[in-house]
Structure 1
Amino acid sequence: MIEDSETIDEFLARHSADVEEAVRKAAAAEIMPRFRQLAQDEVDEKSGPHDLVTDADRNAELYLTEALRALLPGSAVVGEEAVHANPASYEAIRGEAPVWIIDPVDGTRQFVHGDEGFCTLVALAVGGVILGSWTYAPVRDQFAVAVRGRGAFLDGRRLHAGSPDPGRDLRIAASHPDFTTDEEKRALLGLYTDGVSVRPCGSAGLEYLAIARGEVDATAFSWEAAWDHAAGLLLVEEAGGTHLTRTGEPFRITGGNALPFTTARDAATARRVAGLLASGAA
């Protein structure tokens, strides 16, 4: 629990491991017992067949909401499922109180289909600035943590995104054009050019982890939901990468971004991808 005179930086120094423990416990209690064991009545559609929610999502978010608020009294929570039930709760991201940003199962479609490509994402932000990041892929038993100014780590090993090897195609994970506006679709089509290899993205959190590990060069995402991006953005930044919208500005979790945006292993790659998105949209 935070002490009266403690700053958020001090809180993170003392309690990052406690957040990790809460994430692991939520996954063990609410997610993994349902992996490949989901009953039909435990899966629902939200906006359509590509937007699913399960009892694992709902229960893991409730578990984390209680645990994280107990760690940091006075903090707010912006969770994917709570915002679906009450869209106004998203406004906490724009406030000055510390806010936990939670995606209990990032990659729900993969989870429902029994694929291991899902993770749990938690970030801590204040005033729109992401200060802490926790990414857990329970089937793979991978846990990535980043604290602003203190680096990014995967299972205790420091992450360095590095730069793409010169002379080979850029490897980009991108939103599928079919799930975008016409303008965003045109922007994404700008990526389909010589020297670029594009594939559909999977779990956003795992794509960010792949960038931080140097396995993917960049992403091109066409949606803003903070629970999908906050943890990964800080993870990549602390591994040496960066992010830009197609108009060349850093992505803001508070919204109002020119989409699509890119997150990349280094600044040069981010500028190149943002330029391709801008040229496609023009």
Structure 2
Amino acid sequence: MTAAIDIAALANLLQEAAVEEILPRFRNLGDGDIRMKTEAIDLVTEADEAAERLIRKGIEGLMPDALFVGEESVAADPALLDQLKDADLAVIVDPIDGTFNFASGLSLFGVMLAVVSKGETVAGLIYDPIGNDWALCEKGSGAWLYRTDGAQEQMFMRPSGPLEQMIGIANTGFFDLEMRRKILSNLAEVRLFTSYRCAAHEYRLLGQGHMDFAMYNKLMPWDHLGGALMMQEAGAHVARFDGSPYLPHHTAGGLLVAADEDAWQELRERIFTVD
């Protein structure tokens, strides 16, 4: 484990950003505080940008040698994302995961952070500003939920059941139309599927044993690096659609999370066949 990581200090930094920049703006955004990025469901708010500035300043103090990769920083300078592959140490941040929900006044949003060392994700944090608690992991140390009262609970994926009883997350919005139709038809085989438009809460639900699988097609590092490591530390089988490991520089190839390799293979072959 990289000695430079102070997981508690990082957790406190995310909380500080929420208290100072995110929560005061929740359900209190003016007309000019919400802007569209690529489409009507891809938004950025003043809270995203202000929180990222605060987190970035904090990271410069805590980990001055780390490359900082924030969602809004990359929106302003896309070339920044290319530096992640070769960075010795990097901190990847989503200041508000679930911006559409946040801008709509829904409380399903979170703050996400991952630490990458020499091309490998080594730590992940997901902070829930509404619940004021953290899910966090360090590689090789398990995944843990830290409650407001200081209680700690280890996170585990629940054991896999039969396909027809599975419930999970299926984010199909970034497939082309024909593939989306095929996958949505295949999903009739599972008991229930949904998307909360917030990977932060979806990964937490998986890690607390409330769901059986998650599938994502678009892979931006701030959305999935910390959560993917967290699922692995919670005992899940995590891989891209072709079975290869998910690495920090990947932005395509899909991601499938399941309780074990057998469940992963069954979901891949019967539901998420994208070849």
Mark yes or no: TM-score above 0.5.
yes
Q: 1:77 aligns with which of 50, 64, 68?
A: 68
Indicate the residue corresponding to 2:260 in structure 1: 266
Query: Match of 1:162, as an amino acid?
Result: R
| Distance in 1 between residues matched to 2:55 and 2:190, nearest whole Å | 42
Alignment of 1:176-187 (within 5 A): 176-177=172-173, 179-182=174-177, 184-185=179-180
Q: 2:241 aligns with which of 234, 246, 251?
A: 246
Alignment of 1:9-158 (within 5 A): 9-12=2-5, 15-155=6-146, 156-158=152-154
| Distance in 2 between residues matched to 1:58 and 1:71, nearest whole Å | 20
Moved more, 183-192 or 204-213: 183-192
From the superposition, tell whether residues 113 and 256 of structure 1 become closer, same or farther in structure 2 (CA, over 3 Å).
closer
Q: CA deviation at 1:193?
A: 3.8
| Distance in 1 between residues matched to 2:183 and 2:117, nearest whole Å | 31
> Root-mean-square deviation (CA), in Å?
1.9
Q: CA deviation at 1:96?
A: 3.1
Query: Match of 2:270, as an amino acid?
Result: L
From the superposition, tell whether residues 41 and 113 of structure 1 become closer, same or farther in structure 2 (CA, over 3 Å).
same
Which structure 2 residue ranges, 5 or more long, are not aligned?
Answer: 147-151
From the superposition, tell whether residues 11 and 57 of structure 1 become closer, same or farther in structure 2 (CA, over 3 Å).
same
From the superposition, tell whether residues 193 and 106 of structure 1 become closer, same or farther in structure 2 (CA, over 3 Å).
same
Q: CA deviation at 1:70?
A: 1.4
From the superposition, tell whether residues 187 and 213 of structure 1 become closer, same or farther in structure 2 (CA, over 3 Å).
farther
- Report the TM-score when normalising by structure 2: 0.91
String of CA shifts for 1:188-222, please: whole Å, max 9, x gaps: 33642424422234201111111111111111111
Indicate the residue corresponding to 1:209 in structure 2: 204
Q: CA deviation at 1:145?
A: 0.9
| Distance in 2 between residues matched to 1:71 and 1:84, nearest whole Å | 24
Query: Match of 2:45, as an amino acid?
Result: T
Indicate the residue corresponding to 2:149 in structure 1: none
Indicate the residue corresponding to 1:171 in structure 2: 167
Identity of paired residues, percent? Answer: 26
String of CA shifts for 1:213-233, please: whole Å, max 9, x gaps: 111111111101110001111
Query: Match of 2:13, as an amino acid?
Result: A
| Distance in 1 between residues matched to 2:271 and 2:118, nearest whole Å | 28
Q: For the Cα contact (< 8 Å) 1:188–1:220, is it kept in 2?
A: no
Which structure 1 residue ranges, 5 or more long, are not aligned?
Answer: 1-7
Q: CA deviation at 1:248?
A: 1.8
The answer to whether the aligner puts 1:228 opposite 2:219 as a matched pair is: no
| Distance in 1 between residues matched to 2:13 and 2:68, nearest whole Å | 15
From the superposition, tell whether residues 255 and 38 of structure 1 become closer, same or farther in structure 2 (CA, over 3 Å).
same
Aligned residues: 270
